[in-house]
Amino acid sequence: MEGAVPPGAALKAALAREAQAAGFAKMGVCRPDAIPQAAGRLDAFLAAGRHGQMGWMAERAAWRRDPAALWPAARSVVMLAESYTPDHDPLDDVGLAERGAVSVYAQGRDYHDVVKKRLKRLARWLAGVAEAGGFDGPEGWVAVTPVREASGEAPAGRGMGDMREGEAGSREAPARGPGRRGSGLAVSRPGLDPGPRGDMEPGEEGETGDREALPGETGNRVPLSKTQGASSSAHAAKPAVSPVKVFVDTAPVMEKPLAQAAGLGWQGKHTNLLGRDLGNWIFLGAIFTTFDLPPDRAETEHCGSCRKCLDICPTDAFPAPFELDARRCISYLTIEHRGPVDESLRPGIGNRIYGCDDCLAICPWNKFAVAGRDMRLAPAPGRRAPELAALAGLDDAGFRAAFSGSPIKRIGRDRFVRNVCYAIGNSGRPALGAALGPLVSDPDPGVADAARWAKIRLETG
């Protein structure tokens, strides 16, 4: 029929409506092979050693280089953005003498728990479309089917209910590609995927564990029995396999380059993703699917001559625009780095006890930022600018209780209290030295070292 919308385009439009209803701020689509430049950037980043202790980046580099290798049957990558724009200026918390600065994304509920439920909701909707052979559109029934895999089988994976949280190291959830994903999560903070010029981009790859899952190892296939929103009026045969793959923080995917390819925004000079209509306070999600959806036009860079994000960095973590050396990044040092931090970098950490938002907060594009919609991501009581003296006294049980449901819990008590000691040492308040007393002989060498350093710094000014 003349003027009829192609089924793939109609499905994409319907999926965008579902995404908006689920709470996402924006959706875009790209092909799995849309970021060929990422491989060279990743290789250069790893060769320079800018990944620091994040060995999983090199170990799973083959999959990280090429999203198509994760699931060769995939025809489209659906990229989704959710805003967590704060209602305050995070820079107001930096430099508070007796309180710690916590990255905005970690002040509320763990975003993994919030966003992955929305990803699964969309994935189930797509699975329902495949099961029904189409969906009810504004103009009536639209018949559409996914592209069948040549083998007729999907890569091995666990069902969504079989995801094993708590597999990796001392953390409590499996590493995201830090991998992460057929469908994965990323947060805009200096992070782990190579930036536009081959460095690490803000993310939180290793934050959820010290190992990545291999493609198909912990990838979650959406059970077709759990469908939502698709009409069953068509009697098409069920597809042999699920048309979507949701790895949820378990596959090595570079979400930010894919998000740029899908038109959501671009990787700025701070290597975070930012958009003209989103700002840069963004969580990203990705769903791989065998549905053939029309791709969006890739976004281009719009930073111009601005370098505010580069100049504000307290530890000079940006060797050049669009490049990040994770080994100097406060987000990496306070979250990913194990053991004592280089003494030359400790003063620059200031009172930041978990992450750093300086390069995000200073970005002029935030004047167009979309307001956060989910109150679960808003700061929980006591999470924004907590008192350093109280935090220094936390034992393991107290730490777990204080940060239950928070991404902060993932790094463990020892690494967190180490950070608190650095903040006390940088406070210039000798009275806080009393909180360091028991910690100079702490069983954890990193905590004991930090406490001794902080005590000397307070005493010598």
Residue type, 63: W
Q: Which amino acid is at 264?
A: L
Task: Output the pLDDT for position 370.
Answer: 77
Cα maximum dimension of the chain: 82
CB 202 within 8 A of CB 331: yes
pLDDT at position 201 over 60? no
Q: What is the mean pLDDT of the chain?
A: 81
Q: What 3 state SS string does 300-356 have?
A: CCCCCCCCHHHHCCCCCCCCCCCCCCHHHCHHHHHHHCCCCCCCCCHHHHCCEEECC
Q: Identify the CA nearest to 180 among candidates 245, 85, 263, 128.
A: 245
Distances (CA, A) of 252 to 175, 206, 442: 9, 11, 36
Of 12-21, 141-150, 235-244, 267-276, which range is least confident? 235-244
Q: Which residues, 6 or more positions from 286, have their beta carbon under 8 angstroms from its beta carbon? A: 77, 78, 79, 80, 181, 182, 183, 184, 253, 255, 258
Burial of 139 (0-12, 13-18, 19+ CB in 10 A): exposed
Question: How far apart are alpha carbons 33 and 298 in whole angstroms?
Answer: 13
Please tell me which residue, 24 or 149, carries the higher pLDDT value: 24
Half-sphere exposure at residue 382, Cβ-oriented, CA atoms within 13 angstroms:
10
The pLDDT value recorded for residue 116 is 85
What is the C-alpha separation between 382 and 274, in angstroms, rounded? Answer: 29
Which pair of structure tokens corresponds to residue 19? 């995404």
Candidates 263, 284, 280, 262; CA nearest to 271 is 280
What are the tokens at 242?
């699920």
Which of the residues are catalytic? 249
Query: How far is residue 6's CA from residue 176's CA, in Å, rounded to a whole number?
Result: 35
The residue written with tokens 């930010």 in the block is 256
- Return the beta strands (E) in 58-192 as ranges: 76-83, 101-102, 134-137, 140-143, 158-159, 185-187
The H or E element spanning position 130 is helix 111-132
Q: Kindly tell me if the per-residue pLDDT of 166 is higher than 60.
A: no
Among 94, 96, 119, smallest CA distance to 104 is for 94
- Give residue for tokens 């995070």: 90
Neighbours of 160 (CB within 10 A): 18
Q: Answer yes or no: is pLDDT of 62 > 60.
A: yes
Residues 118, 120: Cα–Cα separation, whole Å = 5
Task: Answer whether 218's CB lies under 8 Å from 164's CB.
Answer: yes
**pLDDT at residue 21 above 90?**
yes
Which tens digit of pLDDT belongs to each residue from 225-270? 333 334 333 334 445 567 898 765 556 888 999 999 999 999 999 9
Query: DSSP string spanning 265-290?
Result: -EE-TTSSEEBTTTBS-EEEEEEEES
pLDDT digits (tens, 9 = 90+) for 363-377: 999 988 877 666 667
CB 416 within 8 A of CB 337: no
Q: Flag whether pLDDT at 169 surpasses 70.
A: no
Distance CA(101)–CA(451), nearest Å, equals 18
| Rounded Cα distance, 247 and 160, in Å | 9
Residue pLDDT, tens place only, 100-143: 999 999 998 887 778 888 899 999 999 999 999 999 988 889 99
Q: Kindly list the distances between the CA atom of residue 441 and the CA atoms of 112, 414, 438, in Å, as whole numbers in the listed order.
A: 35, 13, 6
Checking if the pLDDT of 160 tops 70, the result is no
Q: What are the start-end ranges of the E strands in 192-233? A: 193-194, 200-201, 220-221
Give the confidence band of 157 by pLDDT, cuts at 50, 70, 90: very low
